[in-house]
Protein backbone atom coordinates (compact mmCIF):
# COMPACT_ATOMS: atom_id res chain seq x y z
CA UNK A 1 0.00 0.00 0.00
CA UNK A 2 1.28 3.45 -0.91
CA UNK A 3 1.95 5.86 1.94
CA UNK A 4 0.59 9.02 0.34
CA UNK A 5 -2.78 10.66 0.55
CA UNK A 6 -4.87 9.38 -2.33
CA UNK A 7 -7.12 10.02 -4.09
CA UNK A 8 -6.09 13.43 -5.35
CA UNK A 9 -8.19 15.98 -7.18
CA UNK A 10 -8.41 15.01 -10.83
CA UNK A 11 -7.93 18.69 -11.72
CA UNK A 12 -4.68 18.84 -9.74
CA UNK A 13 -3.35 15.70 -11.41
CA UNK A 14 -4.41 16.89 -14.88
CA UNK A 15 -2.68 20.22 -14.25
CA UNK A 16 0.49 18.39 -13.18
CA UNK A 17 0.31 16.26 -16.34
CA UNK A 18 -0.02 19.40 -18.46
CA UNK A 19 3.04 20.86 -16.72
CA UNK A 20 5.03 17.67 -17.33
CA UNK A 21 4.04 17.72 -21.01
CA UNK A 22 5.28 21.30 -21.28
CA UNK A 23 8.52 20.44 -19.46
CA UNK A 24 9.16 17.48 -21.76
CA UNK A 25 8.00 19.35 -24.86
CA UNK A 26 5.17 16.91 -25.55
CA UNK A 27 2.19 18.35 -27.37
CA UNK A 28 -0.98 18.58 -25.32
CA UNK A 29 -4.66 19.19 -25.87
CA UNK A 30 -7.88 18.24 -24.09
CA UNK A 31 -7.96 14.72 -25.53
CA UNK A 32 -4.34 13.98 -24.76
CA UNK A 33 -4.60 15.27 -21.19
CA UNK A 34 -7.63 12.99 -20.72
CA UNK A 35 -5.79 9.94 -22.06
CA UNK A 36 -2.65 10.65 -20.04
CA UNK A 37 -4.74 11.11 -16.90
CA UNK A 38 -6.37 7.75 -17.66
CA UNK A 39 -2.92 6.15 -18.06
CA UNK A 40 -1.75 7.63 -14.75
CA UNK A 41 -4.97 6.46 -13.08
CA UNK A 42 -4.58 2.94 -14.46
CA UNK A 43 -0.89 2.66 -13.64
CA UNK A 44 -1.56 3.84 -10.07
CA UNK A 45 -4.29 1.23 -9.63
CA UNK A 46 -2.00 -1.48 -11.00
CA UNK A 47 1.06 -0.46 -8.98
CA UNK A 48 -0.48 0.55 -5.65
CA UNK A 49 -4.06 -0.79 -5.70
CA UNK A 50 -5.17 2.78 -4.96
CA UNK A 51 -7.22 5.27 -6.97
CA UNK A 52 -5.20 8.27 -8.11
CA UNK A 53 -8.13 10.65 -8.58
CA UNK A 54 -11.26 11.61 -6.74
CA UNK A 55 -13.39 10.78 -9.77
CA UNK A 56 -13.67 7.74 -11.97
CA UNK A 57 -13.07 7.82 -15.71
CA UNK A 58 -16.22 7.45 -17.79
CA UNK A 59 -16.63 5.68 -21.12
CA UNK A 60 -17.48 8.52 -23.47
CA UNK A 61 -17.66 8.27 -27.25
CA UNK A 62 -14.01 9.17 -27.83
CA UNK A 63 -12.59 7.15 -24.97
CA UNK A 64 -12.07 7.39 -21.22
CA UNK A 65 -12.91 10.86 -19.89
CA UNK A 66 -12.76 12.49 -16.47
CA UNK A 67 -15.86 14.74 -16.65
CA UNK A 68 -14.72 17.49 -14.26
CA UNK A 69 -11.43 17.84 -16.16
CA UNK A 70 -13.30 17.92 -19.46
CA UNK A 71 -15.58 20.69 -18.18
CA UNK A 72 -12.62 22.67 -16.85
CA UNK A 73 -10.53 22.64 -19.98
CA UNK A 74 -11.49 25.20 -22.57
CA UNK A 75 -10.31 25.23 -26.14
CA UNK A 76 -7.38 27.57 -25.53
CA UNK A 77 -6.89 27.11 -21.80
CA UNK A 78 -5.22 23.97 -20.50
CA UNK A 79 -4.49 24.81 -16.84
CA UNK A 80 -2.29 27.35 -15.18
CA UNK A 81 1.23 26.24 -14.39
CA UNK A 82 1.26 27.74 -10.88
CA UNK A 83 0.23 25.64 -7.89
CA UNK A 84 -0.35 22.54 -10.03
CA UNK A 85 1.67 20.35 -7.69
CA UNK A 86 -0.43 21.12 -4.63
CA UNK A 87 -1.20 17.85 -2.90
CA UNK A 88 0.97 15.62 -5.07
CA UNK A 89 3.50 13.89 -2.86
CA UNK A 90 7.19 13.52 -3.55
CA UNK A 91 6.52 9.77 -3.87
CA UNK A 92 3.93 10.23 -6.61
CA UNK A 93 5.73 12.87 -8.70
CA UNK A 94 8.47 10.54 -10.04
CA UNK A 95 5.92 7.78 -10.57
CA UNK A 96 3.65 10.07 -12.61
CA UNK A 97 6.65 11.37 -14.53
CA UNK A 98 7.55 7.80 -15.56
CA UNK A 99 4.01 7.23 -16.80
CA UNK A 100 4.13 10.47 -18.81
CA UNK A 101 7.55 9.49 -20.20
CA UNK A 102 6.04 6.20 -21.39
CA UNK A 103 2.79 7.56 -22.87
CA UNK A 104 3.32 11.30 -23.45
CA UNK A 105 5.33 10.85 -26.62
CA UNK A 106 2.23 9.61 -28.45
CA UNK A 107 -0.34 11.81 -30.15
CA UNK A 108 -3.86 12.25 -28.83
CA UNK A 109 -5.23 10.27 -31.77
CA UNK A 110 -2.85 7.39 -31.17
CA UNK A 111 -3.69 7.30 -27.46
CA UNK A 112 -7.40 7.38 -28.37
CA UNK A 113 -6.98 4.46 -30.78
CA UNK A 114 -5.06 2.58 -28.08
CA UNK A 115 -7.78 3.23 -25.48
CA UNK A 116 -10.38 1.83 -27.92
CA UNK A 117 -8.62 -1.50 -28.49
CA UNK A 118 -10.82 -4.60 -28.26
CA UNK A 119 -11.10 -5.86 -24.67
CA UNK A 120 -9.86 -2.56 -23.22
CA UNK A 121 -11.87 -1.32 -20.24
CA UNK A 122 -13.49 1.36 -22.44
CA UNK A 123 -14.44 -1.26 -25.05
CA UNK A 124 -15.95 -3.56 -22.40
CA UNK A 125 -18.07 -0.78 -20.90
CA UNK A 126 -19.27 0.46 -24.29
CA UNK A 127 -19.74 -2.81 -26.18
CA UNK A 128 -20.32 -5.50 -23.56
CA UNK A 129 -21.90 -3.63 -20.68
CA UNK A 130 -23.76 -1.30 -23.11
CA UNK A 131 -23.17 1.66 -20.84
CA UNK A 132 -22.11 4.69 -22.90
CA UNK A 133 -21.03 7.50 -20.58
CA UNK A 134 -20.91 4.99 -17.72
CA UNK A 135 -18.14 4.75 -15.16
CA UNK A 136 -15.31 2.43 -16.13
CA UNK A 137 -14.93 0.04 -13.15
CA UNK A 138 -11.62 0.16 -11.31
CA UNK A 139 -11.28 -3.63 -11.38
CA UNK A 140 -11.28 -3.59 -15.21
CA UNK A 141 -8.73 -0.78 -15.30
CA UNK A 142 -6.49 -2.41 -12.67
CA UNK A 143 -6.46 -5.72 -14.52
CA UNK A 144 -5.78 -4.05 -17.88
CA UNK A 145 -2.91 -1.93 -16.59
CA UNK A 146 -1.45 -4.81 -14.59
CA UNK A 147 -0.57 -6.48 -17.88
CA UNK A 148 3.10 -5.62 -18.49
CA UNK A 149 2.49 -5.36 -22.25
CA UNK A 150 0.37 -2.27 -21.67
CA UNK A 151 3.38 0.03 -21.25
CA UNK A 152 4.84 -0.90 -24.64
CA UNK A 153 2.96 0.85 -27.43
CA UNK A 154 4.39 -0.40 -30.67
CA UNK A 155 2.53 -0.46 -33.97
CA UNK A 156 0.72 -3.65 -32.95
CA UNK A 157 -0.63 -2.06 -29.79
CA UNK A 158 -1.64 1.34 -31.10
- Using H for helix, E for strand and C for coil, what is the string for 79-138? CCCCCCCCCCCCCHHHHHHHHHHHHCCCCHHHHHHHHCCCCCHHHHHHHHCCCCCCECCH
Residue 138 lies in a domain: yes
Residue 70 belongs to a domain: yes
pLDDT, residue 74, reads 64
Any domain includes 5: no
What span, in angstroms and rounded, lies between the C-alpha atoms of 139 and 40?
15
- Does residue 157 lie in a domain region? no
Is 30 a domain residue? Answer: yes
Q: With respect to residue 158, please indicate whether it lies within any of the assigned structural domains.
A: no
Average pLDDT, the chain: 86
What does pTM read for this prediction? 0.88
pLDDT tens for each residue of 100-131: 999 999 999 999 999 999 999 999 999 999 88
More confident residue, 27 or 158: 27
Does residue 144 lie in a domain region? yes
What are the pLDDT digits (tens) for 133-142?
Answer: 899 999 999 9
Contact indicator for 139, 66 with CB cutoff of 8 Å: no
Region of residue 106 (phi > 0: left; psi between -120 and 50: alpha; otherwise: beta): beta
> What is the predicted pLDDT for the residue at 90?
84
Range of the domain at 104: 10-151
Q: Determine what percent of the chain is predicted with pLDDT higher than 90.
A: 63
Domain count, the chain: 1
In a domain, 61, yes or no: yes
Res 55 pLDDT > 70 = yes
Amino acid sequence: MIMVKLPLSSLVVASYIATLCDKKRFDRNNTKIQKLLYCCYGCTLAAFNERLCDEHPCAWRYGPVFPSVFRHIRKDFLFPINACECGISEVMKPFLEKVIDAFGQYSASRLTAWSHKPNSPWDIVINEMHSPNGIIPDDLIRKYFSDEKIVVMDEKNA
